[in-house]
Structure 1
Amino acid sequence: MKNSEIKALNVAELTEKVASEKEAFRKLQFAHQVSAIENPMKLREARKLVARLKTELRAKNIKK
């Protein structure tokens, strides 16, 4: 997900997206612990996506 797409989301959509991406990241971590996933860089990408979403959500909450 690109930063321009993230900035276009409203607060409710961002909150929902953060929750879904956190859950996807948690499942990916679990899958990696059970047996190594094919591309471990997906963990890094997922973690950074959650961070970008949370950063934008915080910026929009402060702006209010």
Structure 2
Amino acid sequence: MEKLAELKALVETAEKEGAAFYEKNNKAAGTRLRNALQQIKVVATDLRKDVTEKKNAAK
């Protein structure tokens, strides 16, 4: 559940930065958005691994 909470926080950050980038044309927010998206990818991959391991361990 810790990873899910982290993922949710990252998505909220990405949403905030995306709004600043697209609505206010803030170029620095675009960089922060890209960083947040990369972190989302990493956390989501880790979460997928954990789910797969737990699912397979139950067999």
Same fold at TM > 0.5: yes
Can you give the 5+ residue segments of structure 2 that lack an aligned partner in the other structure?
55-59
Q: Taking every aligned residue pair, what percent have the same amino acid on both sides?
A: 21
Higher RCO, 1 vs 2 (CA within 8 Å, ≥6 residues apart): 1
RMSD over aligned CA atoms reads: 1.1
Q: TM-score, normalized by length of structure 1?
A: 0.74
Tell me the matched-pair count. Answer: 53
- 2:35 aligned with 1:42: no
- Higher percent of residues as helix: 2
Structure with higher Rg: it is 2
Match of 1:56 among 40, 46, 52: 46
Are residue 13 (structure 1) and residue 5 (structure 2) matched?
A: no
Residue ranges of structure 1 left out of the alignment (5+ in a row) = 1-11
TM-score by length of 2: 0.80
Runs of 4+ that moved beyond 3 A:
none
